[in-house]
Chain A
Amino acid sequence: MSKVPPKGRAKPKAPHKRYFDTESAAADGDAAGLQPVKLKRKNQQNFVGDFIKMQNQSKVRKPLRPTKVKAEASNPAEAQKSHVPPELLAKYSRGEKVEARGVKTRHFKEQQERREVYLDYATEQAARTELLLQETAGQLGADDGEITAEYRQEQIAENVDLQSAAKHFSLQMEFGPYTMRYSKNGRHLLLGGRRGHVAAFDWVTKKLHCEFNVMESVADVQWLHVPTMYAVAQKSWVYFYDKKGTELHCVKRLTSVNRLDFLPYHFLLAAGNSSGYASWLDVSIGELVGNFNTGLGDIRILRHNPSNGVLCVGGSRGVVSMWSPKVREPLAKLLCHSTAMTAMTVDPKGQHLVTAGLDRTVKVWDIRMLNDQPLALFRLRLPANELDVSQRGMLALSQGTYLETYTDLLSGGGTGDRSKLPYLRQRCDAFVHGLRFCPYEDVLGVSTAKGFHSLLVPGSGEPNYDALEDNPYETSKQRREHEVHALLEKIPPELITLDPNEITGVDAPTLQEKVDAKRQLFHLKPPAIRMNSRRKMKGRGGSAKASRNKQIVKDIKRKEFIAEVREAKKSVIRQHSSKEAGDDAKPRPKPPRSVLDRFKPKPQKKHKT
C-alpha cells in the first residue's frame, strides 16, 4: 500500500527557490560529505609509529640583566668560529654601525641591533666568498739585468700560453683613423674608421659579427647595454645598429656628435657635440633626458665616471667639468692643466681622474675628494694624446705613435724619469687614436690610423669576474636575463650627482634658498581667498548679507596674514641687524657681580604671550 496524498489538498507548494538555497544545500551536502581533513606534512602522512611528545629542555629562567662581560666574552669566540680574517671583513664592510643611542624607542633600538647582526652576517658571508676568488693577478717580472720595459710584444706572446698568445694580434685596415670600444664584459670589440668603416666582432674567437661601411664619416662608436647593439656617431646624426649591422635607429636629435659614452646603470647614451652640446639619451625609453649647451665649445674629450655616472668633459682651457643630465650647470669644475687638454680618463673604480695636457704632463686626481692638487704627476717628453686606466690600476698612455704603460697609477713617473720606468712600451706603425684596456683580460686595445693592435699587458685586467655583473662567457639566455635585471634596476637620471650617496641624506635648504625665502617675505602679498559660502534657504539671508559676511571673513584672514608676515619680517630684521651688531662689537664680558648688586631693581620677568 502506497501512501497517497489526501485529495482536495494541494501539494504543499515548494517555496520559491532563492538564490542562496542551492548554495546552502550544496554547502550542506559538502559539509556532510567532507570531513575536515587535518593536513599533515608529507613525511608524516605515511607514518605508522607512535607519537611521542617531549620537551627536550626545561625552560630556564634567564637572569634579568645579562652580564656584559659574558657577551663580550662570547663575541671573540664567535669571531674565532667564523674564521674570517678581519682585514677581509673590513674590505666588505659597509661602514659604521648605527649606534643604539641614535635610535629612539626600545623597540626600534632592538630592531636596529638585530638588523646590524644581519648586516654583519652579510659582510661575513661576502668575506667568506673571497675563498672562491682563486685567480690572482700577476705581473711580468724581469730577470737580473733586464727591465720589463724592454720586452717586446712578440717576446711576451712567445712566452705565454697559446690562448693568451692568441690575444695578441693586429689588424691592418685602410679606413682609418680608427676609434674602438670593448663591450662591458670585454668579449666584443667595435671598431669605427673615420672613413666609414664599422666592424663588430668577438675578438677572443675572432668571429666577425658584422662589417660594413656607413658611407659617411664616423666620429665615434659605442656599445649599448648589450653586445648586440651599438651606436655610431656619424657625420650628422647618431645611428644605432645591431650585431648583424642592421640599422635600428637614427637619432637625429644628436647631431654632429664627436664623442659617445654609455652609462650602463642609467641606460644613458651620452654624447658630446661639436658645438658644445652635451646630450643624454635614455636608450631604454628613447628619450633625451638631458640636452643642453655646456658652453665649452667643441667637445672632443668625454668620459663618464663609473662610480657616480657624472659625465666628465675635458675642455680646451684645461678644465674638466662634470655634468649631470638634469643640471644645466657643471656640478664641478677642476682646473687640471694650464694648457689645453689632450686626453682624459677615469679609472674603472671611479676613484681617480687622469688628465693629460699639452703641457706634457699626465696628472692623476682624486675624483672623490676633488682636491686641487694632483695625486701623481707624469712628466713626458711629448703630450699624451690618449689615456686609459685598467681595472687593476695600470695606466696606458700614448704619445703619437709611441705608447707606454705604467703599473701603478699613483706612483708617477715619466719618460725622462729613470727611477720610475714604464712597465711596457710599444711603438705602433701609425698615430694612436684610441686606447682601451679590455675588461677582465690582460689586453690593451690600440686603434691607430692604420688599424688595430691588441697588446698583451700582463696583470692589467681583473682576474675574478662577477658573473652576475659582467660575464665574459655569457650565453644569450644569460644576456637576456641580465638585460631584464639591469632594466629593472635602472637608476633614474636625476640621481646622477657628485656624491652617489647623497640620496641617503636629508634634504636641507641651501643658503641661496634660505636667502630667497627671506627676501620673498618682504614682497609677499596676501593670498586671494576664495570663499564659497553655503547656500542658505530662502529668507535666511540675502545676497547682501552673504557678501558682507564674505568680506568680513576675508578681512579677518588678510589681517591675520599681514600680522603674521609682519612678525616674520620683524624677526628677520632683528636677526640680521643683531647679527650685524654682534659682528661689529663683540659682546662685552659681564662685569663681576658686586655685593651691592642685590639692591638693584630686578629685571622684570618676561610675560609669556
Chain B
Amino acid sequence: MSDDEEHYNPKAHKKLLTAIGSLGSVQHIQKSTRDERQTRQDEFQLVKSVRAAALEHKPRAVGLNDLVQILRTSSKHAQTGKKLKNIQSTKKVLEKPLEKPAADRIRRTIGYEGVTKKLGRWDAVVAQQRSAETQIFPIPSETIYVNTAAHAKPLKTSIQSDLAKELEASKQKLHELRKAQIGDTSDEKVLAQQERDLLQKKLTRDELFARRKELAYLKMRESQKSAKARMQNKIKSKKFHKLQKRQKMLEQMKEFELLKKTNPEAALEKLNAMEKIRVQERASLRHKNTGTWAKNLQVRAKYDKDVRKDLAEQLAVSRQLTQKQQESDSETELNIKPAAHEEEEKDYDPFNPWTKQKVAGKAPTQKAASEDPNWRKYWTERNQNTKLLEEHRNDLEDVKPAEGSDVEEELRSEPKQKPSKKKVKKPKVSFQNGWEVEEVDPETNVRGESKIDDIFEAHEEKMRAKLTKRLASLQQRTDRLKAAPAKSKKVKKKKDSLKNLKDLAIKKTKQRVEIDEPLNHDDEPQQQVDAAILESAPEAKVDSAMDTIDLANVATLVWTQKKRSSGALNDALVNDDEAEYDEEDAAAEHQLTISQAFEDDDIIADFNRDKTKDSELKNTELQLAMPGWGSWAGAGISHEVMERRNKRLLLKLAAPEKRRDDNKDNLFINETSTKQARQHMVSSVPFPFRSLADYEASIRAPIGRNFVPETAFRMLTRPAVITRKGQVIEPMDESELVKPDRRLRHIVDKRIKRLPKVPPRAQKA
C-alpha cells in the first residue's frame, strides 16, 4: 500500500483516467445547439465534446450557472437569477437551421406540391376535352350581345289603360295629401337621389385613408377632452369652480352680445336657454344657506332671536318651495308663477315701472336676469332709475289725485293683460331670484297663503280647460295617427318597393340569365316542333290504323272465300281449268310422264356422293414410318407386324370436325371457299375488343348517307375538332375552370352527357 501511495500521483492518475476514458469512447459528436451568438456556425455539427484535457488548458466557457451564481450573491438579483434558471430549464433551445440542400429539397417538394395542386385544377377540363366528341375552337364564350344603342327602338312595355293611369294619379294625390297632413316635407325624389348618390359614391383609397385618419384624430381629441373633464370634475376647490363658472358665463355673455347684433331671435333663444340654466341652478336649492346673508344670519342667530326667526322662516319657505316643486308638474309650475305674479302685483305698486317694464319690454329684463357679473351693476342702475321714476310719479300723483279711478280700472282690466303676462314668466322669475328683496313680510306671506287656495282653484279651471284642449288635440292626433298608419304603411311600402327595387336589381341579374336562356336554348323551339310533329303523328297513325282495319276486313273476306272454296262455283272453276289443261297441255303432260319415268333415287345418291367427296379433308394422315425402316432384317418379317407398326406410326392430323351441313342430306356448303374474301378480313380481333362478337357488333351498323338518315349521318360523321377559318385560337385561361358546361343542343350530346361514366377500374373484372 505504501508503494501505492508512494506512486500515486493524482495528476498523473487523472490523466490516465481521461486517457482510458477517451480510449474506449468513440468521438462523441454532439448536436450543436444555439446557446449563444456565434460568428460561425459549424455546418456539419461536428462539435466535439470538450475534453477534460482541453478544459484544463482552455479557459472554461462562461455558462449560465456562473451567471446565476454571481447573481445569487446579491439579494437584489437573486430573483433574476432564479428567473434565468427557470428560463433555462423550461424554454427550449432553437433548432439549428437545416442544411442548405435539405432545406432546398423541402422547398422544392413544397413547391412541387403547390404546382401539382395548381395544375390539378385543370384535370377535369383536360379530361373533358380529351373525351369530348367534338371540340370547337376558339372556345365559344358566354358573351351575348345586347343592343343598347341609343337609337335602338325602345321596347313598348306599358300597356296601361286610361283607368289605370287615372287610378294611379289619384293615388299619388292621396299620398301627397297624407304627406302634407303629417307634415312630412321631405321630397321623395330628393331622398331617392341622395340614396342613389350614396350608393354610387365610392370613396377612393386615399379618401378612405384620409377619412380614417380624421376619425382617429377626432377620437383621440375626444378622449383627451374627456380625460381633462374628468380631472376637472375631481377638483374640489370651490373657488376654481366659481371662477370657471364665471368664465363660462362671460363666454356666454360675449356670445350673446354678438348674437344680439347679428341674430336677435337666436339671441333671444340663447337668453332663454341661459335663464333656464340659471333657474335650474337656483331650483336645486344648493344655495339655500350658502349665501353671505344666510351665513351672516347664522352667525348672528346665536344672539338674536329675530334673526333666528328670520332664518327659520327662510328655511320654511325653502321647504315649501321645494315641496311644491317636487309635487308640481312643469305646467302647474307655469300656472303657479302667474299666481305668484299676482301676489307680487298686489304687493307692489301697479305703477311700478318694474312691472311695467316687464310688460312693455322683455329684452332688458331678460338681460338682467341672465347676466351675473353685469346685472348687479345693471340692477343698481335700474333701481336708481325706478326710484327716480317713482319719485317723479309721486310728484305726478300729487298733481293728479283723480286718476286713481283709472288705476283701479286698470286693476280690473288686469286679467285681460294676464295672458301677455303669463307669457312673460321671466320677470317674475327674476323677481324671485332677485336677492335684493331680502325681507319677507309675514303679512304678505299670510296673505299669499290665504290666497293660494283661490289661485289654485283658478288654475285648476285653467288646467281643466287646458286639459280639454289637450285632449282634443290628442284626439286629433290619434285620428291623424290612425290615418297615419296607412300613410306610414305606404311609406314603408315605398321603402319596401325600394328594397324590392334593390332585390329586383339583384334579381335582375338572374333575370338576365333567364333572358340569356332562350339564346342558348335552341332546343325549346325544337321541342315545340317535335311536339308539333308528334301531334301530327297520331293522325297518321289513325290513318294507318284505319288501313289496317281495312286489311283485316280484307283478310276476313279472304277467309270467307276459303271457306267457300269447296262450293259449287269454285268446283266449277277448277273443273273448267282441268278441262283446259286436258285440251292444251297434252304435250306438257307427255314430257312430265317421261321425266317421271326417269325419276329415280340416283340423283340423291349422286348428290350425296359428291357431297362426301367434296367435303372430305385431304391428306389428314401422316405416316411417320419411313419405308425400309425396321424392315432391313429380311424377307422373313411378317407382314402383320409391319402393318401394326405402320398403324402405330400413322399420325391422324385432323379429328373429324362438325360441318355446317352435317345433318342436311341434300345440302352441301363449301367451307373452304372464302379464300379471296379472307384477304379483306382482319387476322385477329382488333385491339379494344375482347371477343369477335364485340368486334363484329362494333362494325355492324353502316354510317353512310345511303344507310342512315341525313341528320344521323351528319351526327355520325361530325368532325372531332371544329375550327373557324381565320380565327386565332387563344389558349385557355382560368375562366375556363369556373365556366359552366356548355349547354348542349343536340339530343345525342345530351344523351351522351347522361351516360353513366365508366368507373376507372371496371375493366379489371
Query: Does A associate with B in a complex?
Result: yes
Q: Could you tell me which A residues sit within 8 Å of B by CB distance? A: 38-39, 43-44, 47-60, 65-66, 68, 71, 74, 78, 81, 83, 94-115, 117-122, 125-126, 128-129, 131, 134, 136, 138-139, 141-150, 317-319, 324, 326-327, 329-336, 338-340, 358-360, 370-372, 381-383, 399-402, 415-416, 418-421, 425, 427, 468-469, 485, 489, 492, 494-498, 501-507, 510-516, 518-519, 522, 572-573, 576-577, 579-580
Nearest Cβ on chain B to A290's Cβ, whole angstroms: 10
Contact indicator A97/B554 (Cβ below 8 Å): no
Using A332-B669, A419-B562 as known contacts, say yes or no to A381 and B581 having CB atoms under 8 A apart.
yes
Contact indicator A96/B757 (Cβ below 8 Å): no
In-complex Cβ contact of A519 among B513, B653, B695 (8 A): B653
CB neighbours of B517 from chain A (8 A) = 56
CB neighbours of B600 from chain A (8 A) = 338
Within 8 A of A (CB), among B612-656: 614, 617-620, 622, 624, 651-655
Contact indicator B624/A504 (Cβ below 8 Å): no
28 A-B pairs in the complex with CB atoms less than 8 angstroms apart: A49-B147, A54-B144, A58-B740, A59-B741, A81-B530, A95-B697, A103-B689, A113-B755, A118-B748, A122-B703, A122-B712, A319-B603, A332-B661, A335-B666, A358-B595, A360-B592, A381-B581, A401-B584, A418-B570, A421-B570, A503-B681, A512-B617, A516-B619, A519-B622, A522-B624, A572-B653, A573-B624, A576-B651
State in angstroms the CA–CA spacing of A572 and B509 once bound together. 81
Contact indicator A332/B683 (Cβ below 8 Å): no
Using A53-B143, A122-B716, A125-B712 as known contacts, say yes or no to A372 and B667 having CB atoms under 8 A apart.
yes
Contact indicator B540/A327 (Cβ below 8 Å): no
State in angstroms the CA–CA spacing of A120 and B716 once bound together. 11
Contact indicator B709/A126 (Cβ below 8 Å): yes
State in angstroms the CA–CA spacing of A418 and B741 once bound together. 71
Contact indicator B696/A494 (Cβ below 8 Å): no
CB neighbours of A331 from chain B (8 A) = 669-670, 673
In-complex Cβ contact of B666 among A58, A334, A340, A359 (8 A): A334
Using A47-B145, A96-B697, A359-B599 as known contacts, say yes or no to A326 and B676 having CB atoms under 8 A apart.
yes
Contact indicator A330/B606 (Cβ below 8 Å): no
Using A53-B141, A74-B754, A136-B547 as known contacts, say yes or no to A99 and B694 having CB atoms under 8 A apart.
yes
New A-B pairs, 6, CB < 8 Å, besides A334-B666, A485-B706, A577-B651: A49-B146, A59-B741, A114-B755, A118-B712, A332-B669, A511-B657
B323 in the interface (beta carbon within 8 A): no
Nearest Cβ on chain B to A560's Cβ, whole angstroms: 23
State in angstroms the CA–CA spacing of A498 and B739 once bound together. 56
State in angstroms the CA–CA spacing of A387 and B656 once bound together. 40
CB neighbours of A115 from chain B (8 A) = 698
Contact indicator A507/B669 (Cβ below 8 Å): no
CB neighbours of A144 from chain B (8 A) = 557, 560
CB neighbours of A338 from chain B (8 A) = 599-601, 603-604
Contact indicator B708/A126 (Cβ below 8 Å): yes
Nearest Cβ on chain A to B593's Cβ, whole angstroms: 10
B675 in the interface (beta carbon within 8 A): yes
Q: Specify the chain B residue showing the minimal Cβ separation from A68.
A: B756
Contact indicator B748/A117 (Cβ below 8 Å): yes
Nearest Cβ on chain B to A95's Cβ, whole angstroms: 5
B396 in the interface (beta carbon within 8 A): no
Nearest Cβ on chain B to A370's Cβ, whole angstroms: 6
Contact with A along B571-589 (1 / 0, CB 8 A): 0011001101100110011
Contact indicator B617/A511 (Cβ below 8 Å): yes
CB neighbours of B553 from chain A (8 A) = 141
Contact indicator B143/A334 (Cβ below 8 Å): no
Using A129-B709, A419-B562, A519-B622 as known contacts, say yes or no to A505 and B696 having CB atoms under 8 A apart.
yes
Contact indicator A505/B653 (Cβ below 8 Å): no
Using A68-B756, A329-B614 as known contacts, say yes or no to A324 and B673 having CB atoms under 8 A apart.
yes
Contact indicator B673/A468 (Cβ below 8 Å): no
Contact indicator A110/B757 (Cβ below 8 Å): yes
Contact indicator A512/B672 (Cβ below 8 Å): yes
Nearest Cβ on chain A to B336's Cβ, whole angstroms: 75
Contact indicator B147/A47 (Cβ below 8 Å): yes
Nearest Cβ on chain A to B652's Cβ, whole angstroms: 6
Q: Specify the chain B residue showing the minimal Cβ separation from A496.
A: B677
Q: Specify the chain A residue showing the minimal Cβ separation from B688.
A: A108
Q: Specify the chain A residue showing the minimal Cβ separation from B738.
A: A59
Closest 7 CB pairs of A and B: A335-B666, A102-B694, A122-B712, A494-B676, A49-B147, A108-B688, A372-B664
